[in-house]
């Protein structure tokens, strides 16, 4: 059982193919989920245009801040594997006195790679995935120190599948 405050900024953390967007769809309303893909699409007409990432995250942080000011739970569907990416989220949460929470989706690299190969919307190679896995390993020791008040780790496909979310009062 994953317990999160009714008002939180939830950062999903996981490599490409770990199932973040699937998890977000299953557990949250579409309007609660801000995805980096959707914001790249909004600012660049192309969800995969990595050159649009800075602008996309600017817009995402802005919308997240507005939602938190309005008292709305907000979920960020992005890999969130880099300290600087997470720092932006912790900053937005703090600016609005909202707790930043991380939910880590950790699947074996082979699983993520197999899924990636079946997707038309992803073209990255295996080395990119390996680098993301390395970034994930390094993230474990850092998340709490970076300011995430709760770090929930779901290890493996079964644990991700069985996860349920409960809201703290």
Q: Which does 18 bind (CB under 5 to 8 A by kind): Mg ion, ligand GTP, none?
A: ligand GTP
Our finding on whether 16 is near ligand GTP (CB under 6 A) is yes
The least CB distance from residue 17 to ligand GTP, in Å, is: 5
Distance of closest approach, residue 97 Cβ to Mg ion, in angstroms:
29
Binding segment for Mg ion (CB under 5 A), chosen from 19-27, 58-66, 89-97, 128-136, is 19-27
Supply the minimum distance, in Å, between the C-beta of residue 94 and ligand GTP.
Answer: 25
Tokens of 164: 């349920």
Choose which of 3, 6, 161, 168 interacts with ligand GTP (CB under 6 A): 161
């Amino acid at each position: 059982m994953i317990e999160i405050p009714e008002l939180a900024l939830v950062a999903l953390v996981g490599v490409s193919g770990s199932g973040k967007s699937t998890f977000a769809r299953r557990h949250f309303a579409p309007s609660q989920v801000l995805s980096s893909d959707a914001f790249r699409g909004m600012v660049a007409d192309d969800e995969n245009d990595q050159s649009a990432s800075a602008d996309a995250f600017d817009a995402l942080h802005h919308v997240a801040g507005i939602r938190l000011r309005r008292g709305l739970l907000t979920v960020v569907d992005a890999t969130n594997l880099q300290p600087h990416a997470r720092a932006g989220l912790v900053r937005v949460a703090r600016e609005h006195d909202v707790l930043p929470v991380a939910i880590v989706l950790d699947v074996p690299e082979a699983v993520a790679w197999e899924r990636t190969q079946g997707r038309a919307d992803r073209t990255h190679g295996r080395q990119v995935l390996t680098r993301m896995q390395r970034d994930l390993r390094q993230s474990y020791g850092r998340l709490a120190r970076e300011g995430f008040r709760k770090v929930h780790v779901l290890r493996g496909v079964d644990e991700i599948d069985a996860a349920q979310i409960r809201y703290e009062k």
